[in-house]
Every structure is written in C-alpha cells, then in structure tokens.
Chains A and B, each alone.
Chain A
Amino acid sequence: MTATLRHAVWVLRGNKVTAAAFAGAFLLCVIAALAPWIVPYDPIASNVVKALQPPSSQHWAGTDQLGRDVFSRLVMAARLDLAIAASAVTLSFAAGAVIGSICGYAGGRLDAAVGRFVDVLMAFPLFVLAMAMVAALGNRIENIVIATAIINLPFYIRFALAEVNVRRNAGWVEAARACGDSHISVILRFLLPNILPAMAVQISLNLGWAIINAAGLSFIGLGVKPPTPEWGIMVAEGARFISTGKWWLVAFPGLALMSAVLCFNLLGDGLRDILDPRMRT
C-alpha cells in the first residue's frame, strides 16, 4: 500500500498535468460540498427586473433570463452534476464488476449468455438508448442516472469478464479453492480486489463522459427539470442565446462543464499511470 502511495507521489511529481488534474478534481469536490454556503445569491430565486445582465461586480457571471445569478447557479450545479456522474458511474461499476466477475468465474453457459446480453447492449446506439430510457421512465434525476449507468454497463461487464477469465484458473485461485473457500468468497476476497484497480481507471474517464451525456440529454429536452441548476441544461439554454450576444449564458456554464470533464479525463489518464506502471514504459 505504501509502495503504491510512494509510486503515486513519484508519478505526480514528474507529471504536472496529472497533479493539476488531481488538484482540480479535489477543488471541484470541495466546491460541490460547500456549495450552499458559498453561493452569493439563492440560485433559484428569480428577479425579472434584473434579467439578462452581463457580468458585473454584483453578478460575476451575469444573470439569466429570469434574473437569477449565473455564478450561484454554476456553483450549485457542481453539486448535482458531480452527484449524477458519481452515482451513475458507481452504479455501473458495481453492477458491472459483480455481474462480470460472477459470470467470468462461472464460465460456461452463464458466461456465454451474459456475453450475448452485453453484445445486445453494445450494438445499441447508446445515446439513443439513453434518450429512449429517459423518455420512457420520465426525466427525473434518478432516471438520468439509471440511463447513464446502463449505457456504461456493457464496458464494465466486458472488462470484468475478461479480467476474471484470465485469472479464473490461476494458481492462487486454485489454492484458495483448495483451502475450502466457497465460490462466493473466492470471488469477493480474491478476484474482485484483483481487478478493481484496473477498473478504477475506467471510472474516472467515465465520470467526464457521464457529465457530457447528461448535458446532451438536456439539450434535447430530456435533462433535469427546471428550475434545478445543472451545467448541461444551462449550457443548452445558453447556447440559444449565442446569436443575440448574451455570451455569458453559454460561456461560463460551458467552461465549468469543460473544466470538470477535463479534470476527470486527465485524472483517469494519470490514474492509469499510477495503478499500472507498465503502461508507461
């Protein structure tokens, strides 16, 4: 464990981009956690008299169509966006790891059946699948999370399947079985911990992707409902004001969304380096 930590510190020191990404992601999480206490205005309180004002010392990021403070909304949105992304990814990660490792371990018919199912999911145009699911289940936040989780699921299942398949008949697994460990315990105590680090890299990359995905859903009207602040819907609404010169409505949410996704992506890359030193010979 300490070796990994030392390795991490070493990688971070040599890799400024990853270090910055780490710092950025950490900052984002802090902002999200403290959001209600740092916003200067109530993010959903309207004030039509002050609608569509450009950035000023009072409203750092201007005001929107209803006169709400864009900066406050951005900060509050960090909370929701991170929550959506994190829960979606956790969900697919957990389900994927469990399903994948059980099937990979069992092998045979179950393995083949799940493989088929994953093929079905993979063959879907995923964004359209997400749209259809949100449309079918209703655009509540839970459903956006579920839809995002489901379209990520096949990658995790596949990944876990492949990793477990490789290790299924490894000596130490045989040994554990010989010692009288049940199948469940072999999976939980030996196989899962072994494949988790490799999957963790995927998590970080998917976090960014989940945010983008939610934004896309908002753009076609299947995102979170008003007046909840969320980056995607703010960008989507703001984009419609581009040509009338209200640039702040799209620029600030766009930047927020972009930097969050960028952090997670670079972080994912960095994690790969830390967890799998062989990747960067």
Chain B
Amino acid sequence: MSALSGTAKRAAARLLSSLPALLGVLVFTFLLMRVLPGDPAVFFASGPNAGKEEIEEIRRQMGLDKPIPEQLVRYLADIGKGNLGRSLTTGQPVLSDLRQRLPASLELTLSALLLALLAAIPLGIVAALRPGSLVDHAVRFFCSLGVCVPTFVSGLLLIYVFYYLLGIAPDPTGRVDVFTTLPPVVTGFLLVDFALAGDWEGWTAAARQLVLPAFTMALFVVAPLARITRASMLATLGSDFIRTARALGLPRLQIIVAYALRNALLPVLTIAGIVFSTMLGANVLVEKVFSWPGVASYALDALLASDYAPVQGFVLLMASIFVIVNLTVDILYGIADPRVSVA
C-alpha cells in the first residue's frame, strides 16, 4: 500500500516538474514559428486579386499586427482558456482538428508498435539465447535492414507492390474505404468503434487499411526494440536466480518465459514508451504517403504554409503525450518493481 502511495506521490511530483518543460516547449515553438520567414497572411491571401488590404485583413484576424511579446501573452492566455487558435489550412479550430485527427495517429502508432513488439520480442529472445551465433547475427542484420530504409521509400514500395501490382491491399487513401459507412464515434479509434457497433465488415475494412502503414512504421522500430530485448534477456539469463532455476532442473521453456522474460520485459517497456512517443511525432512521412488523416501530416502542411496555430498546437500535444507516456511507464515500472520508488 505504501509503495502505491509512494508511486502516486512520485507521479504527481514528476507531473509538476514537467510543467516548466511544457511551457518551454510552448514558448520555443512560438518563437520558432515567428522566425519562419513566411508570412501566413500573404500565403493565404491567395485570391487572384488579393492586394495589400486583404493581406492586412488576414494579419489583423490572426493578430499578427500586434508586437510579438503581446502575441505571446495572448497566445498563452488563450491556451489557458483551452483555445489553440484556428487553422488557416483547414479553416477549423486547431483543438477540434487535433481531437479529430489524434485517434487516427494513435491507432496507427499503437498498431505499429504492437506489430513491432510482436516481432521484436521473439527475435530478441532467440538472439539472446545463442549470443554470437549465426542466428544472433541474422537477427541483428535483418533488424538493421528495417532502419536503413527511409519510411517514405518503404511505404511507397509497399503501395506499389501490394496495391498497384498485386491488388491485395486496399487503396491507400486514409483510414477506411470511402464507401464504408462509418460507425458512430465513441472513441475515435475505428477498430474499437466498429467492434462496439458490431460491424465486423467495417472492422475488417479498417483493419485492412491499417496493415500497410502500420507495417511501414513497425519496420523502422523493430531494431531498437529487439536490441533492448536481447540485451535485457542476456542480463537476466546471466543472473543468479536463473542459474538457481537451472540448477533446480526446471524445464527450459519455463525458465525462459516465466522467469527470464518476465524480468527482462521491464527495460523493454521503458524503451517501448520512448519509441511510442517518438513514433507519434515522427510518422509525418508515413501519414503523407498513405494519406492518413493524422496529426503529423496536419502539422507538416501547416508548417509549409507558415500556419502558426496548428504547428504550435501539434507540438504542445506531442510534448504532453511525451510527458504522459513517460509518466505511465514510470508508474508501471514502480508497480512492477517496488525498489524503483525507493531509489
């Protein structure tokens, strides 16, 4: 019980201590966006006859006519009120855009992570069981191969082969075939919503749509996950309690799965947390290639248009998720291994 309350206290403290970092992220992004030489007002005053007046009007609407410190104060005040501004690229409030697009990104990233873990953990274990063997090297080689191909290349190639040539994959145009009726929105995760609605046909359609992009992303993260699994398995396999278990003559499979793996998974969990938050921010190119309506491609479009609000909102969202994921990993860690909270 005291371990739990200790964990809670630690969590609260960490949450508090991450607030300055979040504020720092906010201010830094704000300033970075103002340094961009592009003037969003000019870009968006794109009408064939847009003149000085139209440009000034957009500047006024966006509050760009005010001095930068004042803009910053206004921006922070707005954020305090839960208003992230309005995107010129989509014409919608940034908050509602993000709310709509975040589940798409999360669903994709989670599926990719799951896929990667499913591949990486067995590979890591196999490699750790015979360190230095041919199997070990083969695993290392194939995992490294995945990291070597830029995601946009592997994505485009997968589309070319599985959609264009073979016709097995559905058209790479987002989360679900346009002709599928969408389920009522409950969580925003299509797989969950389709399941809740009992629409298995729709579920299959959404799942098929997920396969290629999730696979593309997974390729890129199998290597670090397999590497950490291997290292941590090696460490536990060499520890005293395993030696004891072996000496006791317990079945090999039982030793590996029940004792070694359970203990080795903790570091994997930590790395998986980090990988998850990195993936979420880094899947810009995968989202672009697969027309996935996620938050990262949203931020990219906004960035090229010098559309400040969506980029700022996106970075804030990513930073918050980063904090939350780290915190979750920490708490899980604390629960799994009470020694951590004492340290």
Binding site for B on A (CB under 8 A): 14-17, 116-117, 119-120, 122-129, 131-133, 135-136, 138, 208-209, 212, 215-216, 219-221, 232, 235-236, 239, 242-243, 250, 254, 257-259, 261-262, 265-266, 269, 279-281
Contacts and interface: CB of A to CB of B under 8 A. Distances in A.
A116 B24 contact: yes
Contacts of B200: none
A16 B147 contact: no
A128 B21 contact: no
A232 B150 contact: yes
A114 to B, nearest CB: 12
A258 B148 contact: yes
A249 B83 CA distance: 46
B197 interface: no
B80 interface: no
Interface of B: 18, 20-22, 24-25, 28-29, 32-33, 35-38, 131-132, 137, 140-141, 144-145, 147-153, 156-157, 160, 164, 223, 227, 231, 234, 238, 278, 280-282, 284-285, 288, 296, 299-300, 303-304, 311, 314-315, 318-319, 322-323
Nearest to B131: A280
Contacts of A208: 147-148
A235 B148 CA distance: 13
B149 A266 contact: no
Contacts of A242: 156-157, 160
Contacts of B18: 119, 123
> Interface on chain A toward B: helix, strand, loop, or mixed SS?
helix
Contacts of B25: 120, 123-124
B137 A239 contact: no
Contact of A124 (B147, B281, B296): B281
B303 A135 contact: yes
Contacts of A16: 137
Nearest 4 A-B pairs (CB), nearest first?
Answer: A125-B281, A123-B319, A120-B24, A119-B21
Contacts of B160: 242-243
Contact of B281 (A14, A128, A221, A259): A128
Nearest to B31: A136
